[in-house]
Amino acid sequence: MMFTPLHDRVLVRRIEGDEKTSGGLIIPDNVKEKPQEGEVVSVGAGAKDDAGARIAMDVKAGDKILFGKWSGTEIKIDSEELMIMKESDILGIMA
């Protein structure tokens, strides 16, 4: 895949949630919510401040992140569904 986000944008692959509840019930696809966890695939170079200096990105490729429910734009690259979002839409990095 040859795609690099621009500025302060991040390319994210969703991490699918569990297929079952903690009680063992199987969750059907039509009621399953989209996961809010993902893995960073690639990041842009960072936004520029008023003076023109780059602001370093806090995330890097490979980080597992948590993002808002309505964050990002879904895109398809090489038949893989990914999301592109601004770094500010990311809530945090999971350890």
- CATH of residue 36's domain is 2.30.33.40
- Greatest CA separation for the chain: 56
C-beta atoms surrounding 71 within 10 Å: 17
- Is a pLDDT exceeding 70 seen at residue 20? no
Q: Would you say residue 23 lies in a domain? A: no
pTM over cut 0.85: no
Q: Would you say residue 24 lies in a domain? A: no
The total of structural domains in the chain comes to 1
CB 64 within 8 A of CB 38: yes
Residues of the domain holding 54: 1-16+32-63+70-86
Helix, strand or coil for residue 53?
Answer: coil
* 26-76 tens-digit pLDDT: 666 655 566 689 999 999 999 999 999 999 999 999 999 999 888 899 999
More confident residue, 70 or 16: 70
